[in-house]
A and B are shown apart, each in its own frame.
Chain A
């Protein structure tokens, strides 16, 4: 099974900062990678799929990049409402999808 590893696990940042989260796959997965945002007590929400395609309605400060084994989620200017845990998801072997361990973004 392909494993996906996220880093860092925790990310304190200031409002307005550029925030970058990394996701690395144990083998190449083309661009079959999605990113989700989960706020406390809520279900995850799809942000990006196919590594870089922004889901409808998601603010343009969110962007995704990468292919093969290395992927990145970027928030260009962190806002207070972006406090959440972010997960990457590999769907190269769908339906047997795998998720990264999560990155908790907080305001410092």
Chain B
């Protein structure tokens, strides 16, 4: 089934540890995004990639890094996790044109203790 796969589904992480959230899509979409969703707030963009080999910073990039080595994969890395990074993380993709809707993965629920 075509779509976006995120892993892990959930994770409890000790503060200071490094963690990579995985995201893979099989729709050959050019654009990919990482969002975090916190209670009472709208989705906030962390990083994005308009095409393989390029990445950009979103609204809340600090403490996170991404890479886009190929079209399908867009991992998000927390170099040294802090409790404020406790959130639900969604990966999304789109063909890249302006009015194309986003397709979201099922999310990763991350708790940093």
Q: Do A and B come from one complex?
A: no
Residues of B within 8 A of A (CB): none
Residues of A within 8 A of B (CB): none
